[in-house]
Amino acid sequence: MTSAESIIVDGRRVALDEDGHLADPEQWTSAFARALADRDGIELSADHWWLIEFVRDYHETYETPPLMRVVVAALRKARNDSSIGSRELYRLFSDNPVRDGCRYAGLKKPDWCI
Amino acid sequence: MGQGDSDKVIFLIRAAPGSTSAVATQRAIRATSAVPSRAVTVFFHGEAVAAARGPAADWGGHHQSTAVQLLVCQAAWTRRFDDEPAAGFRTSSLVEFWTHVLAADQVGSVGDEALSESCVLRIRDISSDRDATEMLEIVLAGASLEIDLDVLFEAEAVAFLGAKPARKWRQLVDHGLATIWYVGDVDAVDGLQLAARPLDAEQIDDLIRGRILIDL
């Protein structure tokens, strides 16, 4: 990370928390995700945006992040492709797709140990 | 007997130290660990993680050939305490808990034979929103391993199904992660936010039979 405390989004400084997630989830915009991607050296594809929006919608509905198996099932359905597995998600975010999905979606780092 | 030389037994304890439930579970753990050649795992979750501030010897084996492993849920611990668990306790994950459940010869004190990879999680009381959330995390951890899960709400816990925090649990049904059942007064779940299924008291045995039963 270039800064553990903040990131510049559309010329405005936005605070991050100690985990590198958006300090105030209410401040999330798609520009925040793009700024994060610029900083991380990632080019956000349509699949990245699908994951970000899925995680945001899921959290809005259930107040928790989705399980990986739920994301995989949803991506299969969205792409109408039963061959899709977790590998496709790890190609988007190689460390932890759901956790990074939360980070890009402006959500807090999940504090559970699943 | 399972693999290896020892019977593998796992206990889940969620009640706060000193509570009636915790004392009863501790007594059962002592009785189990008094039997030779047992590999006992105790998983502390919820308010029970406070036990890891006390001496591990309180939970230790009472027979030379009995090993007692004391695991503390990392998330439940860090939500409550800033320091480390006492010597003899080790932080762990809910996924590790379920891995132990699946490998166990016996789960809990009631002598259930862990003959299947199919589990019923029974909830009779929910003390707080955090308690409910941490119970849900146990279910989700099991679901992440694609374990066949049913969740049974009984007694006081049934009323929770109509409460706002129950929306988190709706994901279990919406995404095929677990089936939710309840036994009790239908009026108590009027305005149900979950697609829970009613169950007659006499059907409980059918639901549980041949499966691992875990009381949360």
Residues 6+ apart with CB under 8 A from B99: B145
pLDDT at residue number B76: 94
- How would residue B59 be classed by pLDDT, with cut points 50, 70 and 90? confident
By Cβ distance, the residue of B74, B144, B167 closest to A68 is B144
Residues 6+ apart with CB under 8 A from B172: B139, B140, B143, B149, B151, B178, B179, B180
Q: Decide if A102 is catalytic.
A: no
pLDDT at residue number A3: 45
The mean pLDDT value of chain B amounts to 86
pLDDT, average across residues B156-174 = 88
pLDDT at residue number A2: 45
- Please state the pTM of the whole predicted model: 0.86
Q: Which residues of B touch A66 (CB under 8 A)?
A: 171, 175
- Any A CB within 8 A of B178 CB: no
- Any A CB within 8 A of B136 CB: yes
pLDDT, average across residues A47-67 = 96
- Any A CB within 8 A of B6 CB: no
Residue B198 φ/ψ, nearest 5 degrees:
-75, 150
Q: What span, in angstroms and rounded, lies between the C-alpha atoms of A41 and A63?
A: 29
Q: What span, in angstroms and rounded, lies between the C-alpha atoms of B37 and B2?
A: 12
Q: What span, in angstroms and rounded, lies between the C-alpha atoms of B76 and B131?
A: 10
- How would residue B194 be classed by pLDDT, with cut points 50, 70 and 90? low
Q: What span, in angstroms and rounded, lies between the C-alpha atoms of B75 and B72?
A: 9
pLDDT at A40 over 70: yes
Question: Which CATH superfamily groups domain B115-216?
Answer: DsrEFH-like (3.40.1260.10)
Subunit contact A70:B171, Cβ cutoff 8 A = yes
Biggest CA–CA distance in chain A, Å, is: 42
Same CATH fold assignment for domains B1-114 and B115-216: yes
Q: What span, in angstroms and rounded, lies between the C-alpha atoms of A35 and A38?
A: 5
pLDDT digits (tens, 9 = 90+) for B119-133: 999 999 999 999 999
Query: How near does any CA of chain A get to the CA of B95, in Å?
Result: 6
pLDDT at residue number B189: 63
Contact between B161 and B187 under an 8 Å Cβ cutoff? The reply is no
Subunit contact B93:A58, Cβ cutoff 8 A = no
pLDDT at residue number B159: 85
* Extents of the domains making up chain B: 1-114, 115-216
Domain A46-104 fold is: Arc Repressor Mutant, subunit A (1.10.10)
pLDDT digits (tens, 9 = 90+) for B15-53: 999 998 888 888 888 888 888 888 899 999 999 999 999
* Extents of the domains making up chain A: 6-40, 46-104
Q: Which residues of B touch A70 (CB under 8 A)?
A: 171, 175, 177
Strands across the sheet containing B38-44: B89-92, B67-73, B38-44, B7-13, B106-107, B112-113
Look at the block and give the residue holding tokens 């808990």.
B97
Query: How near does any CA of chain B get to the CA of A110, in Å?
Result: 10
pLDDT at B113 over 60: no
Q: Which residues of A touch B94 (CB under 8 A)?
A: 112-114
Subunit contact A69:B167, Cβ cutoff 8 A = no
Subunit contact A111:B93, Cβ cutoff 8 A = no
pLDDT at residue number B112: 46
Judged by average pLDDT, the poorest of A1-5, B54-58, B146-150 is: A1-5
Query: How near does any CA of chain A get to the CA of B71, in Å?
Result: 13
CATH number given to B1-114 = 3.40.1260.10
Residue A12 has a CB neighbour count (10 Å cut-off) of: 12
pLDDT at residue number B74: 94
Architecture in CATH of A6-40? 2-Layer Sandwich (3.30)
